[in-house]
Structure 1
Amino acid sequence: MSVILGSGDFRYMVTEGWGELPDGWSYGDVAAVGVDRKDRVYVFNRGAHPVIVYDQDGRFLRSWGEGLFARPHGLHMGPDDTIFLTDDGDHTIRQCTLDGKVVLTIGIPMRPSPYMSGEPFHRCTHTAHAPNGDIYVSDGYGNACCHKFSPSGKHLMSWGESGSDPGQFNIVHNICCDAEGWVYVADRENHRIQVFDANGRYETQWNNLHRPCGLYMPPGKQQLCYVGELGPSLPVNKNAPNLGPRVTIVDSRGATVVRLGHLHAGEAPGQFIAPHGVAVDSHGDIYVAEVSNAVWPSIKPPLEPPRELRCLQKLTRLASAPA
């Protein structure tokens, strides 16, 4: 029996087993996912084949990036049929063609800036594009700031510091832009998304989220943001209901439209373990990248016997939910 998530115009069928990996291949974990203009799906994973490409039906097309990345983390589809891949293990962003040719590298591989210096980069996490082509980078594990670059990779400015006040960050984990140039930042451990203008000036924040991890806004003028949220992991709250892990769709004011997922973490259809990246195709179908294997030990007993957990899911739109 099919599992349906959501309600009203926002109903999705869990498409079990989506993505036909070649025999003997594994993901390790899926850090991020993206969709190009032809609805081909790019899976940025921590296995031996870092970028795996599928068609919309989950048929394997190709892979690339072998030996290039230290620790895959973020994926952003550029406006010019290129793909931006953030590697927090070697502190770089690589802009690649869709078949894997590197055309731009921002940052120096294996040369992090000093911890919490505010200088790019110390374990950067994600990228986004402004309408004018400028590139924003969330720099979130060894820094607490965002950076702005020109399309050619010239550093223009930075903002943010560690803290919980407006404009401060506690694990700045993801970033995206809308068609008007507003910048949205997943301030994960402050449980919020902060909104800034193009120059890093604080505008507002969206609350009522739990550890927002993945962000996706469809291109063009739209009113929705898709948010992948991690669940609780402390011994005292890891079994508490209604905190995630889940995918939440919010409107342009940050108000909840629908939450997708069950009360607790798990592997059953309709459950999530660790949503880390989100993307949506032209049909409104949602792809969810999960770092399940990394997060599982903190929320469940050790696996016996050890095995790889599910870390990529597709939710197929059933109603006329905007894409």
Structure 2
Amino acid sequence: MTEILGAGDYRFEPVDDWARLPSEVVLGDVAGIAVDGKDRVYLFNRGQTPVVVLSRDGEVLAAWGEGIFTNPHGASIGPDQHLYLTDNFDHTVRKFSLDGKLLMQIGTAGVSSGFMSGKPFCKCTHSAVSPSGDIYVSDGYQNACVHKFDPNGRHLLSWGSPGTGPGEFNLPHNICCDPDGWIYVADRENSRVQIFDPNGRYETQIVNMHRPSGLAITPGSCPDCIVGELAPYLKVNRDFPNIGPFVSVLDRQSTVLSRLDAGRGAGLGPGQFLSPHSIAQDSVGDLYVGDVVDADWAAVFPDAEKPDRPRRFQKFRRYRS
């Protein structure tokens, strides 16, 4: 019997063995996932071939990116149908054509702005493009801010500082733009998504989540948020139920509309997660989720399901009864 995860309008069926990868394509952790206007899926991963492009049916269409990146972290495709790849160890955001031609680089490779400088970049995490073409970058691992650039990469403004209040961040890990230009930031260690206007003015926040890592938004105005929630890692709460890891859908009133949880806890089996780091949705509503599997995950989750072939990304088909 097919396993259906989630609830209401957001029910999904795990698609086992979706991708047909040849033996020479060996993926690392899929830190970033993006889907273009033709529903081609871009896996930005930490293996030997950083960008692997798949069809909706899982066929490999292209693979490229060797020798460019230090640590792939975030991937997005803007309304301009260009691919934006964020490298957190390299402190850069690079813009590519969909066939892999480098078009622009923001940031200087290997040069950090300094710990909590508030300036671009110090281990930036993700990028998103607004309908007007402006580029927003979450700068999170050793910074606590968001930077806005014009379509040519000219720095326009930055906002944010360390903290827990409105407009403050504790590891801004992911970022999205909706069709009206609102900015959604996964404020991971504050366990919330903050929403801003295009100029960085705080509007509201979405809560009822635990350590949001992956983030995607549904189409249209006032979208719902699709959030990859991390599990508790601390020794004191590691075994607590109902805290993750899973993928949840929440509306802007912080109501949990659906939760993808196979009911077996952390693991790498179908419908399970360890660290749902990247999320993308295609034109028919199917979900793609990338897992980042830390080297010591077996120690953190000693009882997690351990398949022979680790699943570093999964596809979930939108279920319609």
TM-score under structure 1 normalisation? 0.94
Query: What is the distance in 2 between the residues matched to 1:222 and 1:205?
Result: 13
Contact map agreement 1:247 1:260 (CA 8 A) in 2: yes
Contact map agreement 1:293 1:309 (CA 8 A) in 2: no
Q: Give 1:114 deviation, angstroms.
A: 1.0
* 2:316 is the counterpart of 1:319: no
| Aligned match of 1:169 | 169
Q: Give 1:299 deviation, angstroms.
A: 2.2
Contact map agreement 1:29 1:294 (CA 8 A) in 2: no
For residues 279-294 of structure 1, the aligned pairs below 5 Å read: 279-294=280-295
* 2:275 is the counterpart of 1:240: no
Secondary structure of 1:189 counterpart: helix
Q: Which amino acid aligns with 1:156?
A: L
Contact map agreement 1:273 1:295 (CA 8 A) in 2: no
- Higher mean displacement: 19-28 or 51-60: 19-28
Q: Give 1:161 deviation, angstroms.
A: 0.8
Q: Point out 4+ residue stretches in structure 1 off by more than 3 angstroms.
A: 218-222, 305-308
| Aligned match of 1:249 | 249
Query: What is the distance in 1 between the residues matched to 2:318 and 2:295?
Result: 29
Mark the runs of 5 or more structure 1 residues left unpaired by the alignment. none
Query: What is the distance in 2 between the residues matched to 1:257 and 1:168?
Result: 27
Q: Which amino acid aligns with 2:184?
A: Y
Contact map agreement 1:274 1:295 (CA 8 A) in 2: no
Q: Give 1:25 deviation, angstroms.
A: 3.1
Alpha-carbon distance change, 164 to 308 in structure 1, aligned in 2, over 3 angstroms: farther
Secondary structure of 1:292 counterpart: coil
Secondary structure of 1:227 counterpart: strand
Secondary structure of 1:169 counterpart: coil
Q: Which amino acid aligns with 1:153?
A: G
Q: Give 1:9 deviation, angstroms.
A: 2.6
- Higher mean displacement: 250-259 or 26-35: 250-259
Query: What is the distance in 2 between the residues matched to 1:6 and 1:117?
Result: 41
Query: What is the distance in 2 between the residues matched to 1:295 and 1:75?
Result: 25
Cα deviation digits, residues 66-114 of structure 1 (max 9, x gap): 1110000000101112100000010000000011100000000000111
For residues 43-62 of structure 1, the aligned pairs below 5 Å read: 43-62=43-62
Number of aligned residue pairs: give it. 320
| Aligned match of 1:216 | 216
Query: What is the distance in 2 between the residues matched to 1:48 and 1:190?
Result: 34
| Aligned match of 1:103 | 103
Mark the runs of 5 or more structure 2 residues left unpaired by the alignment. none
Q: Which amino acid aligns with 2:161?
A: E
TM-score under structure 2 normalisation? 0.94
Secondary structure of 1:162 counterpart: coil
Q: Give 1:8 deviation, angstroms.
A: 3.1
| Aligned match of 1:268 | 269
Q: Which amino acid aligns with 2:52?
A: I
Q: Give 1:180 deviation, angstroms.
A: 1.6
Note the aligned Cα RMSD (angstroms): 2.1
Contact map agreement 1:94 1:104 (CA 8 A) in 2: yes
